[in-house]
Structure 1
Amino acid sequence: MENDFRSLKLLDHLQFVFRKLGINYPVMRKILEMKLTMDQRRVPTIFSGNASEKKEGNQFVKSLWIYALYGIILIFFIFIGDNYMFQLGIIFGISMFILMTSLISDFSTVLLDVRDKTILHTKPVDDRTINAAKIVHLTLYMLMMTGAFLGIPAIVMLIYHGVGYFLLFLVSTVWMILFIIALTALVYIFILRHFNGDKLQDIINYVQIILSICLVIGYQVAIRVFDFVDLDIVYHFSWWHVFLPPIWFAAPFELILHHNTAVSTIVLSIIALLLPLIAIYLYYRLMPAFERNLEKLLDQTAMGKEKKRPFVAMWEKLLCRSNVERAYFRLAYILMGEERDFKLKVYPSLGIAMVFPFIFIFSQTQSFAEVSKGNGYFNIYLALLFIGVTVSMLRFSSKYKAAWILHAAPVEDVTKSYSAALKAMLIKLLLPIFMLIAVVFILIFSVRIIPDMLIVGTVAVPQTLISYKLLKGEDFPFSEKFEATS
């Protein structure tokens, strides 16, 4: 019995468009039905903490209420004055972040679907139909997610600002979605052209990490675009605003509704109109090459020779007393640097820890000279906040089943394994971040703070031990599945 998807029934009303484009609509519909059925087994990232719970139905559709809840936050900005550059700049900024992170985390598998290569390409189905199914599949989900996230704010806009504002917001939102999809696809096209499939997975992982960090520092940049004068919000154009997409999409509101014909407003509006078109055109032109390069994801070549790590060997000898502890140290060091799931859950907190001290320093209204003479360097203690999070995550691994080898080995002392893992964490994660922050702080506050930096570095060791006592697991490190963190 076929699944009854409402989205496919709505799509049936537009089948004449696909037929005119030379697409085999019945075949495309069958492919979409298959993809949507398989999606019911996939748990979205927003629910990944409860992945161990078996639930029926499409979990992404059931998670849309969370996006709707997030969207309520945007209503606040609708009522702040009548400066559309500020209102819409913030709204589109938050929307682009939520939609783009969700696209990368949940829908990269749609853009990078290699199942078509092994299954559909053995059948009498042309590439155009397969590509159309992929694009429609992605667009359906993006529209549902955008509708959930922006639906309630859009209704409030209609009531408060009127029909013109509402319609312009809908058009701008569709344009924004197309720009996000095309831009993400172009990034993947570039990566696939120059790197192999394994490298692509690593880059996607790092993009997710970077975007998570941007959530913390992004509002710091966005809010500095505007000046507050007597509680009125004033926008002043600067050349670097042409690199801020949220400002692009806010400019047409100022141009059309407020009749602001300043050169900067016109330029930003033109960019908002043309760049999504250019991105979509480039994606269309490069799609055949993209499909060919997707074959790299099927390359399951064996791993090369083990990398030489003289740096690790040096720390092993310095910090570990026995050969067993050295073996655990090397294992933990390699896993923390190469396991994608671990990096995705831990590295964002590392990036935030690296950024936080500087946010608190430069959020002050003092001049640079005043800051350099003050005691703002104590903010470096904020960089140690991530230690507890990282220590707690040492228990987990996506390859947790491989921990049987630790139980099979003639070593039963879990303490030694955790001791080595904690030392590896300090060397692999804490030391580089701390050294980088310390160097910048010394440049800002001069060499007078070197004793303070040494004290902070020393404090990190007992803090790590206390975190271990409070948060340690009962088994070997990296022996529990991540779903247990729920």
Structure 2
Amino acid sequence: MSDFKTLKFLDKFNGLFERFGIDYVAMRRILQVKLTMDQRRVPTIFTQNTAKKKQDENQFIKSLWIYGLFGLFLIPFILLGDNYLFQMSITFGVVMFIIMTSMISDFSTVLLDIRDKMILQTKPLGKRTVNAARIIHITIYMSFLTGSLTAIPLAVSLFRHGFSFFLLFLIELMVVNLFIVVITAISYIAILKLFDGEKLKDMINYVQILLSIALLIGYQFVARSFEFVDLDVVFQLQWWQFFIPPVWFAAPYEWLLHGNNSFYMIAFSILALVVPFLSIFVYIKLIPSFERNLQKLSNQGAPGKKGHNKLRSMIANTVCRSKEETCFFHFASLMMKNERQFKLKVYPSLGFSLAFPFIFMFNELREKPLSEMASTNSYFSIYFAIMMIPSVVFMLQYSGTYKGAWVFITTPIQEMSSIYKGTLKAFLVKLFLPVYLVLSAVYIGIFTYKVIPDLIIVFISACVYTMLCFKALFNGELPFAESFEVIQQSDGWKVFALIMMIALFAGIHFVSTIWVGGVYIYLILLVGLNFFLWKKGFSQTAEPK
């Protein structure tokens, strides 16, 4: 096995790990195995992708350039001036938002992994050692992510504000990473303690949605802490800012570099130092409870209620046009319901789609009363709800139980298109439609029944958009037929480009409102386009081999 550079770096801190009761030699060996396995491609079946991946390729490392692009958005805040509290509150708000969402969607499966317990529990290893290996494993990858995101802003900060600013920025980024990992772990510990079996797995997914929404709302609170007065940024102190971590991490710049010795700057700075390390201490104390309750994830809950099955059958018979399509609608619905890895990666995007439209409306309400907003076109913010579609359609190719894809060969399928139609319709009904209906009910309450035609246009646009995402992201692969470990991170640019396409749908819709009857003409054209795409869009789908 390779002796990774990250492990050589950790060797310098082996004494620190030993002081916390962690067997460093054993932890290092576990990490070495985990990092080696991360580089090995698990063989997949039924993949139609002709591009061969090398065995030692790490797809996560290859995807880091995308985070480097995101990091470019931080540069203006670094260069903005010398109002460090404002600049770094926004900077840390963005950094923590991106890292936390990646933690929730990509690394929760590592934190909640119980597969290695059967091997490690038979060895004379302390629970602290096993949990430390799990945390360090995640932290290594998050450090790569953070480095890619902030490498250029760090360099800019060095030349713009000097070495002291750069060093403080670097130290705080390391503390932020540890803080995010530990806080997420403690949240999962609380959920593991309170729930059991299938209900526990569902609650973890609900917590992911809530965390995603909380991140968005928290980011809004960071922005609300500042007001622009005569082109100058003024900090508006409020009691709730003591619960906003980005403000904590921005305060040391004002205190140490600008000499602002006010009570609030010192208090925020102390929170930035004490809370992360206190959370680490709390997590270490909770490790035994975490290990005991983690086993609950392997428990099976009671079977689903028959009423739910009848409702699903009724919906399937309504939206599907053949028995084969109905069959794969049920199959995809069950996969999306029971596939824990799929839900861990997809559900945070549902939270974003639900939260973004509300955040937009709240921003509008700051400028005008609700009665005045009802007469505007602010209902176009519901287009934010379809931002989830590209990422979810992309993830429909993958599964933690991908080896079961032999079912596509053994099943006497007459039309391959039935597989894709059933899967995409299951996604629209099971994941997109609930979010859309909740938002629609709120929008009708605010903008009255006059927006119903526009809401129908948004839904038909979502159906058309789903087909466009399918054509762009499915390269002949069958649904749920590939391992999550070989996700094509290089296709991330396609997802980003497809998200940009949402503006095109919103723009055409907006233009249609200018003319009398334009909305209804656009609706008719959309219905025709949707019918054509769902009728002819599967003509080149792959045959199982």
TM-score normalised according to structure 1 size: 0.78
Q: Which residue of 2 aligns with 1:291?
A: 291
Provide closer, same or farther for how the CA distance between residues 377 and 439 of structure 1 changes in structure 2, counting only shifts above 3 A: farther
Which stretch shifts more, 209-218 or 249-258? 209-218
Give the conservation status (yes or no) of the 8 Å contact 1:377–1:441. Answer: no
CA distance in 1, matches of 2:61, 2:69: 14
Shift of 1:252: 2.2
Looking at both structures, which has the greater relative contact order when contacts are Cα pairs under 8 Å and sequence separation is at least 6? 2
Indicate if the aligned counterparts of 2:370 and 2:446 stay in contact, CA closer than 8 A: no
Looking at structure 1, the residues matched to 6 and 418 of structure 2 have their Cα atoms a distance apart, in angstroms, of: 55
Indicate whether 1:307 and 2:326 are aligned: no
Structure 2 counterpart of 1:368 = 369
Amino acid at match of 1:191: I
Identity of aligned residues (%): 45
SS of aligned partner of 2:444: helix
How far apart are 1:67 and its partner, in Å? 4.2
Paired letter, 1:478: P
Distance in 2 separating the partners of 1:275 and 1:470:
43
**Aligned residue type for 2:34:** K
| AA in 2 matched with 1:305 | P
Deviation at 1:464, TM superposition (A): 2.8
Moved more, 159-168 or 451-460: 451-460
Partner of 1:434 in structure 2? 436
Q: Match for 2:291: what amino acid?
A: E
Q: Measure, in 2, the Cα distance between the counterparts of 1:71 and 1:416.
A: 42
Residue 160 (str. 1) matches residue 160 (str. 2): yes
Alpha-carbon offset, residue 412 of structure 1? 1.9
Which residue number corresponds to residue 86 of structure 2? 86
Quote the residue 2:119 is aligned against. Answer: 119
Within the alignment, does 1:241 sit opposite 2:247 as a pair? no
Moved more, 230-239 or 137-146: 137-146
1:223 Cα shift?
2.7
8 Å CA contact 1:346, 1:393 repeated in 2: no
Find the residue that maps to 1:122 and give its secondary structure: coil
Given that 2:197 and 2:301 are in contact with CA atoms closer than 8 Å, whether structure 1 keeps it comes out as: no
Q: Tell me if the contact between 1:391 and 1:464 (Cα under 8 Å) persists in the aligned partners.
A: no
Structure 2 segments unaligned to the other structure (5+ residues): 43-48, 492-545
1:190-229 aligned at under 5 Å gives the runs 190-196=190-196, 202=202, 205=205, 220-229=220-229
Q: CA deviation at 1:350?
A: 4.9
* C-alpha spacing 1:228/1:105, structure 2 compared with 1 (3 Å): same
Letter in 1 for 2:444: I
**Tell me, what secondary structure is at the counterpart of 2:121?**
helix
Question: Alignment length, in residue pairs?
Answer: 475
| Matching residue of 1:182 | 182
| Secondary structure, counterpart of 1:168 in structure 2 | helix
CA distance in 2, matches of 1:330, 1:21: 50
User: Is there any run of 5+ residues in structure 1 with no aligned partner, and where?
Assistant: 44-48
Q: Secondary structure at the match of 1:227?
A: strand
Q: What amino acid maps onto 2:29 in structure 1? A: K
CA-based RMSD: 4.3
Q: CA deviation at 1:180?
A: 1.6
Task: Identify the residue that residue 4 of structure 1 maps to in structure 2.
Answer: 3
Amino acid corresponding to residue 278 of structure 2 in structure 1: I
* CA distance in 1: counterparts of 2:351 and 2:126, whole angstroms: 45
- For 1:20 and 1:459, locate their aligned partners in 2 and report how far apart those are by CA, in whole Å: 58
Segment drifting more, 457-466 vs 223-232: 457-466
Q: Which residue of the partner structure matches residue 46 of structure 1?
A: none
CA spacing shift, 1:37–1:199, aligned 2, 3 Å: farther
**Shift in CA distance, 272/458, structure 1 to aligned 2, threshold 3 Å:** closer
Which residue of structure 2 aligns with residue 232 of structure 1?
A: 232
The 3 A distance-change label for structure 1 pair 225 and 23 is closer
Report if the CA contact (8 A) 1:394-1:477 is conserved: no
Distance 1:213 1:164, change over 3 A: same
SS in 2 for 1:160: helix
| Aligned-partner residue type, residue 460 of structure 1 | F
State the distance in 2 between where 1:110 and 1:166 align.
32
Q: CA separation of 1:132/1:436 partners in 2, compared to 1, >3 Å: closer, same or farther?
A: closer
The 5 Å alignment of 1:279-358 reads 279-297=279-297, 299=298, 301=299, 304-308=302-306, 309=308, 310-316=310-316, 326-340=326-340, 343=343, 350-358=350-358
Q: Which shifted more, 200-209 or 239-248?
A: 200-209
